[in-house]
Amino acid sequence: MKSAKVFAMCFALAISAVAAGAQAQAQPEVSEKQDIAVFALGYYGWDIPGQALGSIDTEVQKVFVDLGRFNVFGVEQRLSSGGLNQFIATLREVKSQTMTLPDKFIFGEAFLTQAEFNSLAGAFVVAVPVVTWFQTVYNTKTLQWETDITTSVTMIDVAEGGQILAIKSLKTSGSDKNDYMKSVRSAISGIPFQLEYEIRTIPQFQIKTRVLSVSGDGIRFQLGQDMGIRKGDEFALMGTENIGGILEERESGLVVVREVGQSSSFGQILYSETEPGMNTALREIPRQGVDMDLFLHVVSGNDGAVLPGLRMALSRGYYWLRPYVAVQVPLQQIFSAFTVTILPVNVILGGEYNLLFGRFGLTPYAGLGFTYIHLSEAISGITTDTDFLSHVGGQAQMKLSYLFNRNMRAFVDIGYEYWAAVSAIPGLFEDIKGTSVGAGILFKL
């Protein structure tokens, strides 16, 4: 009898251990903050103003901090392209224990003490930004200063002995009519947007998490502000598929983040091939944070027009209310006289209210704007983008869309357009007003 009890107890413990092991095995990976050391910007061989240099250093490090998924350590030293190659080679030698550590490491024009090098070797990842192209010139045709900067950012996995994770090349431009430094700052201001997106495209840095609970078409999942998750971020629901006895991970659904807490977030399921449950895996889908509409609107009536255009709404950081900017061209009001061509362009700023019902979306939006004239002259080639205003007005539309896949929607629009002619030249332009219908394609960038 006593042996039977012992056997039963052992059997129960074995079952519990197996169940615990299965549960642990089913637990998906959840991302944690990674240590990253960011070098100052290397610029050897390029004549970059000191003010600009400090600005780029600040902007690059700020991107890593703002992403929220890193513990960031700044490094004051700067590496050139040649110094970067020496640094990677030295890391590999040290990790393989094939070299004796010197008191000082020299990488091209930069040097690190043994203590500094050891602290970098202890980081998970090292990021090295280097300027590979810099040019500021005065364009005598456009009568403005123009700056072009190409910044290469190399990500090195120190834990893997100096393996290069990725090399990202960022090309930015800026201009100013009066001050060359303003054109430089304008070019620098484009670096953070590009760099943030490029970092999030690197698989090792993409956020992985798990579902905590499911309620209808909504899910609560682990991680939030603590890992830099924002409203409008998108995650793929992950499933597995047995291919010839090998389990392959694949996307099985799409979730958009609606609310973000400190350590958890709430997302809305747009579609899913299977029913998600607790511990279903989620993986971040990197986006630039813009929804781009390509559309054609037709305004009916005697004061109508055909208006092809492009509309861009900010998606990352927003959910319900989102700002947008749009440009559209009233085709009927394009005309030429002798060697002069006049092209009117509507520029609109507005907001939309984003309502999602699975794959379907209902989006009322409205905006105000103006029409400017782009004038070109065929013989001399003189151009100006702000010659004079021809109209002021706005639009109010309702958009019904359908999500075909995770990157694209098709939609139809109905609404009203009104553009009042205000040109100083009488009779040159007419009002545009009336009911508008249209259709287009939305690309999630």
**What CATH number is associated with residue 135?**
3.40.50
The answer on 170 and 155 residing in a single domain is yes
Residue that terminates a domain, selected from 240, 258, 285: 285
Do 162 and 125 touch, CB atoms closer than 8 A?
no
Residue that terminates a domain, selected from 224, 257, 285: 285
pLDDT in tens, the chain (445 residues): 455 554 445 444 444 444 444 343 457 899 999 989 888 888 777 777 777 777 788 888 899 999 999 998 887 788 877 778 888 888 777 766 666 667 777 777 677 777 777 777 777 788 989 888 999 999 988 889 999 999 999 998 887 777 899 999 999 999 998 888 889 888 988 888 899 999 999 999 999 999 999 999 999 999 999 999 999 999 999 987 777 777 778 889 999 999 999 999 999 999 999 889 999 999 999 999 999 999 999 999 888 889 999 999 999 999 999 999 999 999 887 776 666 677 789 999 999 999 999 999 999 999 999 988 766 665 555 554 446 788 899 999 999 999 999 999 999 999 999 999 886 565 667 889 999 999 999 999 9
The answer on 261 and 145 residing in a single domain is no
Give residue 386's pLDDT. Answer: 47
Give residue 14's pLDDT. Answer: 46
Beta strands across the sheet bearing 34-40: 70-78, 34-40, 125-139, 144-157, 163-176
Helix, strand, or coil (residue 291): strand
Give residue 232's pLDDT. Answer: 95
- Count of domains for the chain: 3
Q: Per the domain annotation, does 15 fall within a domain?
A: no
Q: Per the domain annotation, does 295 fall within a domain?
A: yes
Nearest 5°: the CA angle 438, 317, 182 is 90
Residue that terminates a domain, selected from 233, 264, 285: 285
Residues 6+ apart with CB under 8 A from 238: 28, 249, 250, 251, 252, 280, 281, 282, 283
Which residues, in sequence order, are bridge partners of residue 436?
Answer: 299, 415
Q: Per the domain annotation, does 257 fall within a domain?
A: yes
DSSP 113-126: EHHHHHHHHTSSEE
Taking the C-alpha atoms of residue 292 and residue 182, their distance in angstroms, rounded to an integer, is: 29
Query: Measured over all CA atoms, what is the biggest interatomic distance in the chain, rounded to whole angstroms?
Result: 111
The answer on 212 and 66 residing in a single domain is no
Q: Per the domain annotation, does 10 fall within a domain?
A: no
**What CATH number is associated with residue 226?**
2.40.10.410
Residue ranges of alpha helices (H) inside 303-378 are none
| Tokens (6 digits) for 117 | 């090098």
The answer on 437 and 326 residing in a single domain is yes
Q: What percentage of the chain's residues is helix, strand, coil (to nearest 5)?
A: 20, 50, 25
The answer on 113 and 89 residing in a single domain is yes
The answer on 155 and 54 residing in a single domain is yes
Q: Which amino acid is at 197?
A: Y
* Global confidence as pTM: 0.83
The answer on 302 and 277 residing in a single domain is no
The answer on 126 and 59 residing in a single domain is yes
The answer on 438 and 346 residing in a single domain is yes
Which residues, in sequence order, are bridge partners of residue 443?
Answer: 292, 408
The answer on 270 and 195 residing in a single domain is no
Residue span of the structural domain in which 391 resides: 290-444
Q: Per the domain annotation, does 7 fall within a domain?
A: no
Do 372 and 389 touch, CB atoms closer than 8 A?
yes
The answer on 423 and 297 residing in a single domain is yes
For tokens 């100052």, what's the residue? 40
